[in-house]
């Protein structure tokens, strides 16, 4: 699946960037273009740390990609910014800022920034009061280090115990899918019959359920009503729902809660899926499956770079205007979010805006309200594969699409572009496949 060169996975840096929710270097430099900036362009961590210290001692205003090292702690903040105040260096000290593509200030960003602040205190003799995140829209968001410091140290202690050999309890989450160890973690969870195999289970809920003496999926599936009522802090109706999930998983069966309320089939139906490169903050493919008169036709709208995105959007809008009464279906919230932001950026007739953002149909919440699947995760691939759909490229994911897009941008390889298109077409066909399954259940 991944290209190797001289024994190295040449896509590994891209994958690390994706997992870290960062951007490509060129996009980061665009956000920092008006700053008086010094870059630490050194791969060797010790050399990079020495150069960073030199720049801090010299009082450089902005340090890009510096390295912070103290004993076995290593941090690589995207930006170190000089501010006024006393430190070991003089009448200035440094604060850290990371560039993140998410528009939300996530806890993991604050934990990362607090880690930088702790190392900075060791280096410059003063801990920054705040950490910062620079978002892709150019806005800088700050947060107080003290607000998360206690939780940070508790978490750091757990991490250091794990690194010393302590095995943490299994708890499977959707984020685990990004880990190279996901298959091993999932196998371990199944082997342990772990409660975290329940879809969207909170850690606090799992703790409360275990404290009530219900430690596995099997015991939850067989628990009495009295046992369910004994769980502190989890409402009874929630416990009943979790028990149904446990039964579905243990018996490998789909449980229908009530009718799946999809809109009635129209003369024309449109199923949409969008491929995006988060490192470039770019939406590069809008795929549409048109269903009319019993025929299914796939249409694609592609942009190879930022300069082509408006044209791609205009072509997509023109296509939609041919079918003003057609329902637009998609799987998950992402398409709606992209539609709203792109309408705000490039515009669209009010009829198209309404067709996408008001009358558009996200089928995922409809499924969640109506059906329990014997699955830990409810992604399109999880559900469609369970119901019998197959992708042309086995085990392909959105990450692979991004990697293929990077290949295409760098080499112009038409085979990489075809993989992207095939993958997107399979996604919209998978969405249509599970819609057809749902309509047959009534």
Task: Tell me the CA distances in angstroms from 81 to 39, 135, 145, 373, 378, one per residue in order.
Answer: 12, 16, 16, 49, 42
Q: Where are the domains of the chain?
A: 4-160, 174-253, 268-440
pLDDT one digit per residue (tens) for the chain, 442 residues:
233 333 334 445 555 555 555 566 677 777 778 788 899 999 899 999 999 999 999 999 999 999 999 988 999 999 999 999 999 999 999 999 998 877 788 898 999 999 999 999 999 999 999 999 998 778 889 999 999 999 999 999 988 898 888 888 888 888 888 777 888 889 999 999 999 999 999 999 999 999 999 999 999 999 999 999 999 999 999 999 999 999 999 999 999 999 999 999 999 999 999 999 887 788 999 999 999 999 999 999 999 999 999 999 999 999 999 999 999 999 999 999 999 999 999 999 999 999 999 999 999 999 999 999 999 999 999 999 999 999 998 877 888 888 899 889 889 999 999 999 999 999 999 999 999 999 998 6
Using CA atoms, how far residue 175 sits from 171, 183, 244, 278, 411, in Å, is 11, 13, 24, 17, 31
Say which CATH topology domain 174-253 has: DNA polymerase; domain 1 (1.10.150)
Please indicate whether the domains covering 174-253 and 268-440 agree at the CATH topology level. Answer: no
Q: 277 has which bridge partners? A: 282
**pLDDT value, residue 75:** 94
The tens digit of pLDDT for each residue in 302-339 reads 999 999 999 999 999 999 999 999 999 999 999 999 99
pLDDT tens digits for range 96-153: 999 887 778 889 899 999 999 999 999 999 999 999 999 877 888 999 999 999 999 9
Q: How many CA atoms lie within 13 A of 12 on its CB side?
A: 7
User: Tokens 């430099």, residue?
Assistant: 29
Contacts of 270 (CB under 8 A, 6+ apart): 288, 289, 290, 291, 320, 323, 326, 327, 328, 329
- Closest Cα to residue 312, out of 331, 291, 336, 288? 288
Homologous superfamily (CATH) for 268-440: Ribonuclease H-like superfamily/Ribonuclease H (3.30.420.10)
Quick one: how far is CA 22 from the chain centroid? 11
């Amino acid at each position: 699946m991944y290209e190797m060169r001289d024994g190295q996975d040449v896509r590994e840096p891209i994958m690390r960037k994706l997992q870290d929710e960062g951007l490509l270097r060129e996009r980061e430099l665009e956000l920092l273009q008006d700053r008086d900036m010094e870059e630490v362009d050194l791969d060797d961590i010790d050399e990079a740390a020495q150069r960073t210290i030199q720049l801090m001692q010299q009082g450089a205003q902005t340090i890009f990609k510096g390295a912070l090292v103290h004993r076995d702690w290593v941090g690589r903040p995207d930006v170190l910014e000089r501010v006024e105040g006393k430190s070991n260096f003089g009448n200035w000290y440094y604060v850290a800022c990371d560039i993140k593509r998410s528009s939300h200030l996530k806890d993991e960003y604050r934990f990362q920034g607090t880690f930088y602040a702790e190392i900075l205190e060791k280096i410059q003799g003063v801990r920054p009061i705040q950490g910062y995140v620079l978002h892709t829209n150019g806005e800088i968001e700050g947060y107080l280090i003290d607000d998360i410091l206690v939780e940070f140290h508790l978490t750091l202690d757990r991490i250091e115990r794990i690194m010393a050999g302590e095995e943490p309890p299994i708890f499977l989450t959707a984020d685990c899918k990004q880990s190279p160890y996901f298959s091993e973690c999932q196998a371990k969870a199944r082997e342990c019959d772990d409660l975290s195999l329940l879809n969207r289970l909170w850690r606090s809920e799992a703790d409360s359920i275990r404290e009530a003496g219900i430690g596995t999926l099997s015991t939850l599936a067989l628990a009495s009503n009295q046992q369910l009522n004994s769980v502190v802090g989890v409402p009874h109706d929630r416990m009943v729902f979790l028990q149904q999930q446990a039964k579905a998983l243990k018996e490998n069966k789909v449980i229908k809660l009530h009718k799946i309320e999809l809109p009635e089939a129209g003369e024309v139906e449109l199923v949409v899926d969008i491929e995006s490169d988060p490192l470039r903050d770019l939406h590069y493919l809008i795929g549409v499956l048109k269903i009319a008169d019993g025929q299914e036709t796939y249409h694609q709208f592609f942009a190879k770079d930022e300069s082509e995105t408006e044209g791609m959007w205009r072509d997509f809008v023109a296509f939609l205007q041919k079918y003003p009464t057609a329902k637009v279906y998609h799987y998950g919230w992402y398409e709606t979010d992209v539609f709203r932001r792109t309408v705000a950026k490039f515009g669209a007739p009010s009829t198209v805006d309404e067709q996408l953002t008001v009358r558009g149909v996200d089928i995922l919440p409809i499924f969640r309200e109506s059906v329990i699947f014997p699955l830990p995760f409810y992604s399109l691939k999880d559900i469609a594969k369970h119901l019998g759909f197959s992708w042309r490229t086995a085990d392909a994911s959105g990450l692979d699409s991004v990697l293929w897009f990077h290949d295409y941008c760098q080499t112009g390889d038409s085979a990489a572009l075809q993989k992207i298109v095939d993958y997107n077409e399979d996604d919209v066909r998978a969405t249509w496949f599970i819609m057809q399954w749902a309509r047959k259940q009534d």
